[in-house]
Amino acid sequence: MTHWPFLSLLIWVPIAGAVPVLLAGDRRPQLARWLALLAALLTLAVNLAMLSGFDYHSATMQFVESKPWIPMLHVHYALGVDGIAMALILLTTITTVLVIIGAWQAINSRVHQYMAAMLVLSGFMTGVFAATDALLFYVFFEAQLIPMFLIIGVWGGPRRVYAALKFFLYTFLGSIFMLLGLIYLYLKSGTFDMAAWQALPLGMNAQTWLFFAFLLAFAVKIPMVPVHTWLPDAHVEAPTGGSVVLAAVMLKIGAYGLIRFALPVTPDAAQHYAWLVVALSLIAVIYIGYVALVQEDMKKLVAYSSIAHMGFVTLGLFIVFMLIRAHDGDAAQLGLQGAMVQMISHGFVSGALFTSIGVMYDRLHTRLIKDYGGLARVMPWFAVFMVFFAMANTGLPGTSGFVGEFMVILASFAASPWLALLAAFTLVIGAGYTLWLVKRVVWGTPASSKVEAMPDINAREALVLAAFAAFTLLIGIWPEPLVKLLDPAVNQLVQTLGHSKL
């Protein structure tokens, strides 16, 4: 069973699937939709099939593939996954299916191109998570910008060109530094094999330069304060599906990059500058929380909320260094697990929130909070989902939103009660901006007769929202399966980070 090139299938089935979707053409949108759904479902099926062959006790890369690609530079087409990558790939394949169903009616122009772009995007993102060769990683990392750039630029809102360019340039700027770092590491080691780099001895000076190159590249992607301002613009202009993929999967690529490069390749520099990332993460939680509070555009509010929630991811990743210094291995694992669970959870919760906003936007064509109100009466089933996802966003126990934040807060306390206090402030400010949104949109009376006429969600929308809700609830009630999937890889990473390269 392991002889099958499963990971290649995950990458190339959706990309190959994009070809017939494109061929369906502008005249046959329904065919394009079904073909796209078929390709996405096929990919998901392959991914689920992999789970049965996955060794939950091993920290080594599994489903490994390797072929020389550019022999002159020792570049390989090398793929492999551990628990961390597997979890993120699952998030990608699931999200892709839901996004394609979600766009069924919302996208009316150039359906075939939109669907094809989504499939290609899905393949490239999986490639990022599956690559074990740094240059291959870089190629996928850059390549996935293109379909997203198109999705925002073609199907986006009125300021889509500004937003798409801002998104592209921001990310691109960061990735230049990453490329420099990769070239340096290649010259130093003679290989692009990421595993080899983890074992490569590096002086503090080199580590510091590399660390900041990687940090800059990935901080933009996550995004961390202060390089976050592209995200609200990109979300506001992106079509619903673009926002969902952006929030659910793409932001995780940044954190994944930190896990694969900044942490294990430059552990001493990361240890030395952990305070900086921890500080920026806490700023993200608190400062962005306040900014989210006063947003008038729902998408901007959720975008800012995303930045605050991703702050917990970077906090969890870097609090680990403080805990390793304090020889608290259990708490270090807890912090790292928290970061990972938060990523997966945020994928579902923010994806669901953007889908919900899309449902409203499709009916009223406005994203302004003040244009809504009273949806609990007009769209009762929608209101149920909306309140549920809002509660997940505030980290209510029983939803996935709680699990990661809880773990990170517990771990932070072991490092310092003050850090935990600042992180836990999300309980208050997160509830503040989310419930105020709910109060103005869901409760109260309809703002206009147009709101009054909004029909409740149809079966297709209910299916998408219910799927998101099921994952949110499942992880919230029983996170152990996810934790188990991640455990060996997380454990090994904590071990690696404990060993100085100096």
Partner 1 sequence: MISTATLLAIVLAPLAGAILAGLLGRKIGRTGAHSVTILGVGIACILSIRVLYQLVWGGAPAYNQDIYTWFQIGGIGANVGFLVDRLSAMMMVVVTFVSLMVHVYTVGYMADDDGYQRFFSYIALFTFFMLMLVMSNNFLQLFFGWEGVGLVSYLLIGFWFKKPSASYAGMKAFIVNRVGDLGFVLGIAAALHFLGSLDYSTAFAHAPSLTGQTVEVIGGHPWSAATLICILLFIGAMGKSAQVPLHVWLPDSMEGPTPISALIHAATMVTAGVFMVARMSPLFELSGTALSVVMVTGATGAFFLGLIGITQFDIKRVIAYSTLSQLGYMMAALGASAYAAGIFHLMTHAFFKALLFLGAGSVIMAMHHEQDMRHMGGLRRYMPITYATMWIGSLALCGIPPFAGFYSKDAIIEAVGASHVWGAGYAYWCVLLGVFVTATYTFRMMHLTFHGAPRFRVDPHAGHGHDGHAEPGVLTHAPHETPWVVTVPLVLLAIPSLAIGYFAARPLLYGGFFGSAISVLPAHDVLAGMAAEFHGPLALAVHSVATTPFWLAIAGIALTSYIYLLKPTLAGTISKALGPLYRIVDHKFYFDELYTALFARGSVALGKALWKGADAGAIDGLVVNGSASLVGRIARRARTLQSGYLYHYAFAMIVGLILLLAGFVLVPHA
| Interaction site with partner 1 (CB under 8 A) | 166, 169-170, 226, 229-230, 287, 290-295, 329-331, 333-334, 337, 374, 376-377, 387, 391, 394, 396-398, 402-403, 406-407, 409-410, 412-414, 417-418, 420-421, 424-425, 427-429, 431-432, 435-436, 438-439, 442-445, 478-480, 483, 487, 491
Q: Based on CB atoms, which residue is closest to partner 1, 271 or 295? A: 295
Here the tokens at position 228 are 């976050």
**Residue 143 or 279 having the CB closest to partner 1:** 279
Token duo for residue 275:
């305070």
Tell me how far, at minimum, the Cβ of 433 lies from partner 1, in Å.
8
> What is the distance between the alpha carbons of residues 477 and 470, in angstroms, rounded to a whole number?
10
Q: Is 133 or 461 the residue whose CB approaches partner 1 more closely?
A: 461
Least spacing, CB of residue 232 vs partner 1, in Å? 8
258 burial level (CB within 10 Å; 0-12, 13-18, 19+):
buried
Nearest C-alpha neighbor of 221 from the set 260, 266, 170:
170
- Nearest distance, CB of residue 378 and partner 1, angstroms: 11
| Distance of closest approach, residue 82 Cβ to partner 1, in angstroms | 17
Shortest reach from residue 218's CB to partner 1, in Å: 18
Amino acid at 394: T
Residue with tokens 């394009």: 32
Helix/strand/coil (H/E/C) assignment for every residue in 300-322: HHHHHHHHHHHHHHHHHHHHHHH
Smallest separation (angstroms) from partner 1 to the CB of 303: 11
Scanning 246-370, the segments in alpha helix (DSSP H) are: 251-257, 263-265, 267-272, 274-293, 298-325, 329-364
Give the chain's end-to-end CA distance (angstroms, integer): 42
User: Shortest distance, CB of residue 341 to partner 1, whole angstroms?
Assistant: 9
Nearest to 386 by CA among 472, 310, 284, 307: 472
Cα distance between residue 154 and residue 410, in whole Å: 44
Which residue, 191 or 434, has its beta carbon nearer to partner 1? 434
Q: Tell me: cis bond preceding 5? Omega within 30 of 0 counts.
A: no
Q: How far apart are CA 139 and CA 68, in angstroms?
A: 15
Closer CB to partner 1, 75 or 313, in the complex: 313
Q: Look up residue 383 and give its amino acid.
A: A
Q: At closest approach, how far in Å is the CB of 198 from partner 1?
A: 22
Work out how close the CB of 157 gets to partner 1 at its nearest, in angstroms, rounded to a whole number: 18
CB of 305 to partner 1, least distance (A): 13
- 77 has which bridge partners? 67
Cβ-based nearer residue to partner 1, 202 or 490:
490
Residue 55 or 296: the one with the smaller Cβ distance to partner 1 is 296
Distance CA 452, CA 459 (A): 20
Task: State the Cα–Cα distance between residues 408 and 466, nearest whole angstrom.
Answer: 28
What the block records as the tokens of 171 is: 């990310």
Structure tokens at 51: 């789970």
- Tell me the closest approach of the beta carbon of residue 376 to partner 1, in angstroms: 5
Closest to partner 1 by CB, 7 or 442: 442
Q: Which CB, 65 or 297, lies closer to partner 1?
A: 297
Q: In terms of CB distance, is 299 or 501 closer to partner 1?
A: 299
Say if CB 239 and CB 338 are below 8 A apart. no
Burial of 327 (0-12, 13-18, 19+ CB in 10 A): exposed
Q: Which is nearer to partner 1, 179 or 387 (CB)?
A: 387
- Of 486, 495, 484, the residue nearest 83 (C-alpha): 486
Name the residue nearer to partner 1 (CB basis): 87 or 115.
87
Q: How far apart are CA 345 and CA 351, in angstroms?
A: 10
Closest by CA position to 65, among listed 76, 73, 57, 51: 76
Taking residue 263's Cβ as centre, other Cβ atoms within 10 Å add up to 23
Minimum separation from the CB atom of position 229 to partner 1 (A): 5
